[in-house]
Amino acid sequence: MYNKASLIAEEFISHEEITATLAYAEENKENFALIDEILAKAEQCKGLDHREASVLLACEEPTRVARMYTMAEELKKKFYGNRIVMFAPLYLSNYCINGCVYCPYHMKNKHIARKKLTQEEIVREVTALQDMGHKRLALEAGEDPVNNPIEYILECIDTIYSIKHKNGAIRRVNVNIAATTVENYRKLKDAGIGTYILFQETYHKESYEKLHPTGPKHDYAYHTEAMDRAMEGGIDDVGLGVLFGLELYKYEFAGLLMHAEHLEAVHGVGPHTISVPRIKRADDIDPTVFDNGISDEIFAKLCALIRISVPYTGMIISTRESKEVREKVIRLGVSQISGASKTSVGGYSEPEPEEENSEQFDVSDKRTLDEVVRWLMEFGYIPSFCTACYREGRTGDRFMSLCKSGQIQNCCHPNALMTLKEYLMDYASEETKKIGEALIEAELNNIPKEKVREICEDHLKKIEEGIRDFRF
């Protein structure tokens, strides 16, 4: 039944294939000859399929596990350098007709404050986000065809792109909304979105149906096949994710990689990003009632293995994770993080009164964007506010080939430095600015092509003079 090129959810995410994969992984978890062969393949940056990667996940032999971590760090340096792209979520509406049992926006929750931003409120929210220094957003909304129809989302995107406050601008809007039709995906593409993000939540069909007992999201196949419709609608950057804690992590990991293999087989391009959210406490949600919570150790191993299995796919960590966990996993392959996030509807422009709570979940990392930016730089990372690729048409397979060719260092690296410079000039505290200026000076030497370096230096001077938005 398993067929990665099929367009039917139950065939490209075959339960039998996952079960057989987990049995194979268990049988081979001490087959060190096979494990070394898989590690050698991964070392050549060839990626791993779900069976190979599942064997590594099952393997607990300390020296080999240590090798997985080292390799993840090396691959990250090779493909992503020391850049970390910054973004913030923007909650548009928490009206929702679904019954997701882990999410406080579920329809039966009668005491959570239901809110939907008006276009005026969006202007206030986005102005506040621009004033922090954000350039890239991920839009979030519940599923509600009456309150949040596609026209509302499109209007919000238009408003967001039109807001130019001081030197600020939102230059890339990613969208995380419920599975929809090809026609609607086409509309999102035409509205100029970057990545379409949709978390699978769980790849285990039976659990999926129990965890989504009511509403349109109950339909496992419609949800699982959404990325194919998105791609048919012209969106070639799609972001996958699993909500870890709902089902057994080994099952989810195999499913996630099978989904990536499916996209590659059918559309010739894998996922642009993978997110790794874990369930958090929320309004009427207690995360401990879900039996499959994973430790920080397993979480780190999953991040490392995603990095070595799909070297060209970006990995996203949100503020669901604490500073300490983020510190641990960033070096294992994370390429994007959010900063100073609010998960309430309207939380950026003014703090929400306690009796009006509309938050989706508690955030663990509550630092300001300035603190996150400084912290990254103190660890030797370059916080990047770059949004150049999709604006230059480098999406889908064009982005992947840039990544594979190694030319990223002549492109993403100077773009990161120039957008960091904008951030330092317009939004940073004095202390952050000092660290950042020294970092840019040092990192200019890591642009391989002399000509590119010269142009970048010239642009940096022009940014000091007040000109904005240079990009390679």
Q: From the CB of 77, what's the least distance to ligand SAM, in Å?
A: 29
Sign, CA torsion 168/172/178/183: positive
Decide: is 188 part of the binding site for ligand SAM (CB under 6 A).
Answer: no
Answer whether 191's CB lies under 8 Å from 202's CB: no
Looking at 231, 254, 285, 329, which residue binds ligand SAM (CB under 6 A)? 285
Scanning 20-28, 279-287, 378-386, 411-419 for contacts with ligand SAM by CB under 6 A, the matching segment is 279-287
Looking at 97, 169, 178, 412, which residue binds ligand SAM (CB under 6 A)? 178
CA distance 46 to 50: 13
Other Cβ atoms less than 10 A from the Cβ of 49: the count is 17
Answer whether 40's CB lies under 8 Å from 47's CB: no
Residue 247's φ and ψ, nearest 5 degrees, are -130, 180
Helix (H, G, I), strand (E, B) or coil at 123: helix
Q: How many residues bind ligand SAM (CB under 6 A)?
A: 21
Q: From the CB of 30, what's the least distance to ligand SAM, in Å?
A: 34
Scanning 175-183, 264-272, 384-392, 463-471 for contacts with ligand SAM by CB under 6 A, the matching segment is 175-183
Decide: is 176 part of the binding site for ligand SAM (CB under 6 A).
Answer: yes
| Cα–Cα nearest to 411, from 435, 446, 442 | 446
Looking at 17, 52, 125, 140, which residue binds ligand SAM (CB under 6 A)? 140
Radius of gyration (C-alpha) of the chain in whole angstroms: 21
Q: From the CB of 295, what's the least distance to ligand SAM, in Å?
A: 17
Site for ligand SAM in 316-335 (CB under 6 A): 320
Scanning 107-115, 136-144, 294-302, 442-450 for contacts with ligand SAM by CB under 6 A, the matching segment is 136-144
Dihedral angle of Cα 56, 59, 60, 66, to the nearest 10 degrees: -30
Looking at 38, 55, 169, 243, which residue binds ligand SAM (CB under 6 A)? 243
Q: From the CB of 347, what's the least distance to ligand SAM, in Å?
A: 13
Angle between helical axes of 296-309 and 62-80 (0-180°, round to 10): 50
Decide: is 280 part of the binding site for ligand SAM (CB under 6 A).
Answer: yes
Secondary element (H or E) of residue 250: helix 249-267
Decide: is 201 part of the binding site for ligand SAM (CB under 6 A).
Answer: yes
Q: From the CB of 83, what's the least distance to ligand SAM, in Å?
A: 25
48: left (phi over 0), alpha (psi -120 to 50) or beta: beta
Scanning 11-19, 195-203, 259-267, 300-308 for contacts with ligand SAM by CB under 6 A, the matching segment is 195-203
Q: Please name the amino acid found at residue 127.
A: T
Site for ligand SAM in 379-398 (CB under 6 A): none
CB neighbour list of residue 415: distance below 8 Å, 6 or more residues apart:
384, 386, 388, 471, 472
Sign, CA torsion 202/207/208/211: negative
Decide: is 142 part of the binding site for ligand SAM (CB under 6 A).
Answer: yes
Q: From the CB of 95, what's the least distance to ligand SAM, in Å?
A: 10
Decide: is 259 part of the binding site for ligand SAM (CB under 6 A).
Answer: no
Answer whether 125's CB lies under 8 Å from 378's CB: no
Q: From the CB of 306, what's the least distance to ligand SAM, in Å?
A: 16
CA distance 52 to 37: 10
Cβ proximity to ligand SAM, 184 vs 415, nearer residue: 184
| Cα–Cα nearest to 227, from 1, 9, 14, 398 | 9
Angle at Cα 339 formed by Cα 337 and Cα 344, nearest 5°?
115
Residue 319 CA to its chain's centroid (Å): 11
Decide: is 222 part of the binding site for ligand SAM (CB under 6 A).
Answer: no
Q: Which residues of 81-95 are buried (b: 16+ CB within 10 A; e: fewer)?
A: bbbbbbbbbbbbbbb
Decide: is 199 part of the binding site for ligand SAM (CB under 6 A).
Answer: yes
CA distance 175 to 143: 13
Cβ proximity to ligand SAM, 244 vs 312, nearer residue: 244
Site string for ligand SAM, 346-375 (x = CB under 6 A): --------------xx--------------
Cβ proximity to ligand SAM, 198 vs 400, nearer residue: 198
Site for ligand SAM in 81-110 (CB under 6 A): 102-103
Decide: is 344 part of the binding site for ligand SAM (CB under 6 A).
Answer: no
Decide: is 270 part of the binding site for ligand SAM (CB under 6 A).
Answer: no
**Site of interaction with ligand SAM (CB under 6 A):** 102-103, 140, 142-143, 176-178, 198-199, 201, 217, 243, 277, 279-280, 282, 285, 320, 360-361
